[in-house]
Structure 1
Amino acid sequence: MTLTFKTTDTTAVFLNPFLNFERSEVTCQLRWDPLTGRSGRLAHFVGFKPAAADFSGLIETSGKNCPFCPDNVLALTPKFLPDQIPEGRLQQGESVLFPNLLPYDVHSALAVLCRQHYRSLSDFQPRLFVDAFTNCRSYLDRVIADPAEIYGLVTWNYMPAAGSSQVHPHFQVYATKAPGNFLDRLLSASQSYRSETGRCYWSDYVQEEIRRDERFIHQARHSVWLTDFVSLSVLSDVIAIFPGKQTFFDLDASILEETAQTLSAVLDWLGRQGVYSLNMAWLPARKGEEHHWLQLRISPRLYLAPHVWCTDTPSLVSQYQESFMIRSPEEVAGELKAFLRSHPGA
């Protein structure tokens, strides 16, 4: 099994009404993920930038009765059973963690990130992430009896374009035996690679990405940051890979501090590009599954045409499960790398 970044270019030809019906050619590129074979399409929307969306009215109205704001969070959110978490809720800095009223599994919680009802992506200080991640890890530590059997998942749906029903920033955290199709496919393919080659795919992958320097963004002491060759997002996913780490429990305080610094800088850059919404997820293995390395995946989300609330999940994505990208991961990586070099926190 070899690590191959496979692409195929195709060209569509038509008579262009914006050029007096002259012949036009537009190139699209098909890509295949080197580990799983998952395919995606890069459609070149020349000069694309996210169209502005006005959320000012939504932010104002949603803040009036927000259950996650400081005046309400202890009165309007549920508590854990005393035999589960005697305190009822977990608090760390500004983060407050409590049971999810709409649970995803037996152990399912929400972790509010901050007291402020709304923050732009450029306004998330590293300390907020350190405290929220620490809070989530404390919860998982209490509810996961055997980390070799259970996955501890932490996700973030930020703003409505990412599927959030609340403006106030909050994480979802849950313990489960079912890691979800995407993560399950990564784990299975990683195991197959180890069985066939005797090597860890993620070690080979990181080395190859650094050597190519096409999607490589930043190397910190405990993590490597890059864009994904076949992104889930139309604007290109940013991924942090943690060499030799499998679970959320493998991250000590110094690693969380470092991760929060880089994450805050990445979000700052995204905000400056006009991004206003994202999904984020930790992709762990279970304890002992050394064929996989822990990852943090950031997927920008947006309305392709905000004036008609056109989402970025057409049938190609939602039913065919085929990614499409309108900015190349290589272009995004180059711009983000330059930004992080001059960012004081990265």
Structure 2
Amino acid sequence: MSLAKPTAHNVSVIGYGLSARIFHIPLILSVPGLRLHSIVQRHPKPGNDAREDFRDVRWFGAVEEALRDGEVDVVVVCTVPEAHFEVVKGALERGKHVVVEKPFTTTVKEADELIALAKKHSRLLTVYHNRRWDSDFLTLQNLLRTHTLGRIASFSTHFDRHRPNPPPSTSWKSRPSPANSAIYDLGTHLIDQAVVLFGMPAKITGFLGSQREGGGGVEDSCSVVLQWEGGLVGRVEVGVVSLEVEQARYWVRGTEGTLRKYHLDPQEDQLKAGKRPGDPGFGVEPPDRYGTLTTLSPTTNLPTRTTYPTISPPATYTEFYRLFAKALAGEGEVPVRPEEARDVICLVELARESSRVGRTLDVDLSV
């Protein structure tokens, strides 16, 4: 006698900071096959209380309570980065499937242990590299897929903001810790995108430090140069001192064309403003934020610049959880394989070591 499959998998979100409230819970609620079962929040406070925001959802004051609950099928780990390893390990050992915010872990060693543990317990493990579903990134992917830019010679990707003042002393981001470094935070997004586009580089050079006066020992910025076999050079830039009307996003130069793009994908700002997946215009970039494509005119053989529309309709970050729900149902792979996220952490460790020793390093995935 076969038992009917559950209509939805119960999801417990561990943590109730910005990541959980903005980047995970709204998406989970929008995807059939997933049910928000519970939220773990250790210290609710007025204006930030999961019990008030989600009265029909179970609340836990400790991680262990969620891991003990036999109704929980999936845990989404939105804790501070340095806690990822222990929480994910505990969840896998309790037989839960796991989504973990980036950065996956602090070290490759930790990532390898978690990957092995997931295989041992036959559980799904994936990492929330949601910016694979930025509309401008998908637009760039399509340009490369169609060879519109020809052979790519250089690739520059930015995540710059003007935040010259340090975060509040009460914030975990103010604590000097490798996991709190800009390269683990925003840098992992950009490195992941670069690897998705071009594969693993052959060499890496890192420059990590603080652009803020005083710094406080926190690496708030990074510049990473990636070199691929064949001559392609990529630059990953994260900065907190960038006073611009339009922040740079991509500059990709090839033998047949150049793409320049400013502004970040709109989904983060829309989610913060209360817009939700399925709302009109969600994820759609306005025309005044489109990139520009420069190619040679077939008539004059001179460079000609045109506005290049961002792909629409956009897949949006919902695609991550839609694919994850399908994987839970046995209908495909997880949206981001943990091995891929592990290789990103490998590049992060190599970049930090390169910055420390002051030289270019060969990329060795066994680090």
The alignment's TM-score, normalised by the length of structure 2, stands at 0.26
Question: Larger RCO: Structure 1 or Structure 2 (Cα < 8 Å, ≥ 6 residues apart)?
Answer: 1
The alignment's TM-score, normalised by the length of structure 1, stands at 0.27
